[in-house]
Amino acid sequence: MGPKSALAYRTIRERVASGEYKAGEKIPSERKLETDLGIGRTQLRVVLARLVDENVLERHARSSYRVPGQEVSTKNPGPLEPWQIHGERTVYDNPWVKLNLVDVEPPGVERFEHHVVRLHHVAISAVLDDQDRVLMLWRYRFVADKWGWELPGGIVDEGEDPHTTAMREFEEETGWRPDYLEHLVTYQPMVGMVDSPHEIYIGRGAQHVGDPTDVEESGHVEWVPLSDIPGLMARGDLLGSGTLVGLLHLLASRRQAAATTDQ
């Protein structure tokens, strides 16, 4: 795509990610988008076709598009009684990890102290290029005594927006600046005992701006074909739950887009 098409592509994706174009609703007409984005009809249709292939948009009618709805058939059960928390005390604390004992009382069970490890808030990014390759780092992790591929990411500083963290860490660790990042999911990797919110971001396209500046966290940087991911996973070469969550989403999205195209 040329510069105008690339800008139009990023703009529409950002509007979907920000909620300006809401799930389940039609986006503006092609005529309005042409004027708004300063792009010709043919170029616009190439952009829209790519966004449909990526499952960012879906065709609604002739020359009409909408953001896929987030419809879920599974219903949550009715109100259930939560655990009661009577207090919390710190056993160990440093800038990286805190170990607490929490006085809890599950429904119908006697009170007891439950260990809770509190770690940092983390932001991780999976960015694809126009050849369906994802930018990854080959790193050594001494805790597991293992080399493997990881997505770039890092700790969210106090008061920092996680999106800012994701952009900053990606550039510092890889030397590439994402064209954009959109939030995918927030999850807890070990929710039974460890408190460490993980934010996963997805993007497409990045510009090389120099060498990595975070020497401690950077590793060998490589654009890895998305088609290699299942094999790397089977081989045990993917490290960390955040890496797996981001990559599995990319694989599922590609499979869904392919199935839609085949229909």
- Please answer whether residues 200 and 245 qualify as being in contact, where contact means their C-beta atoms are separated by less than 8 angstroms: yes
3-66: CATH architecture:
Orthogonal Bundle (1.10)
Task: Please give the pLDDT value at position 153.
Answer: 96
Task: Please give the pLDDT value at position 17.
Answer: 80
DSSP E strand stretches across 35-164: 58-61, 64-66, 84-93, 98-105, 112-118, 122-128, 133-141, 146-150, 153-155
Residue recorded with tokens 């994802």: 134
Q: Domain spanning 122-262: which CATH class is it, in words?
A: alpha beta
3-class SS of residue 257: helix
Task: Please give the pLDDT value at position 260.
Answer: 53
Give the number of C-alpha atoms closer than 13 A to the C-alpha of residue 131, restricted to the C-beta side. 6
CATH 1.10.10.10 residue ranges for the chain: 3-66
One-letter amino acid of 20:
E
Task: Please give the pLDDT value at position 106.
Answer: 96
What pTM does this model have?
0.79
Tell me how far apart the alpha carbons of residues 39 and 21 are, in angstroms, rounded to a whole number: 19
- Please answer whether residues 101 and 117 qualify as being in contact, where contact means their C-beta atoms are separated by less than 8 angstroms: no
Host H or E run for residue 222: strand 220-225
Question: Which segments in the chain show pLDDT lower than 70?
Answer: 1, 61-62, 218, 256-263
CATH 3.90.79.10 residue ranges for the chain: 122-262
